[in-house]
Amino acid sequence: MPQQQGGLHFILEVLDRFLSKPLPESWGKWKLDRDRRVIYYEGRDYWFSLGQMNNSAEVLDWIVHLREQTWATPEDVGNLVAALDDIFDLQNSMCGCGIEHRFNAKEHLAKLFPPPDESSRVQ
């Protein structure tokens, strides 16, 4: 019997990618930098490294850290949560049903933002 590539989980992941809407490039003043794999706040030297968000505690830490900034509005905090949810699908990847899930942000980002195809580059 041939080896399945992840079985049902693999099939669901492929279907999700095929059926999902395109990832936004911005949420309010939060902007996505795909190349550096960060989201940053427009007009400030303030950014979050997406590759360092491997569990719900780390995500919550960044949200609370932003909330404590005197310049951050409630809308900024909400937009950060929306960005992180769009990028990571938080309930499915990190904390569904109140349970901490194992998650590798760098692997997820590599699938979400694959490097450009070498053959498509202009010489």
- Ordered by start, the domain boundaries in the chain are 11-114
Q: How far apart are CA 23 and CA 4, in angstroms?
A: 29
5: DSSP letter:
S
Output the average pLDDT for the chain: 84
Check pLDDT > 70 for residue 15. no
Amino acid at 1: M
Q: What is the pTM of this model?
A: 0.75
Quickly tell me which residue has 């053959």 as its tokens. Answer: 119
Distance (Å, whole) CA 91 – CA 37:
21
Question: Quick one: tokens of 39?
Answer: 């989201």
Strand partners, 31: 26, 40
Q: At residue 35, does pLDDT exceed 50?
A: yes
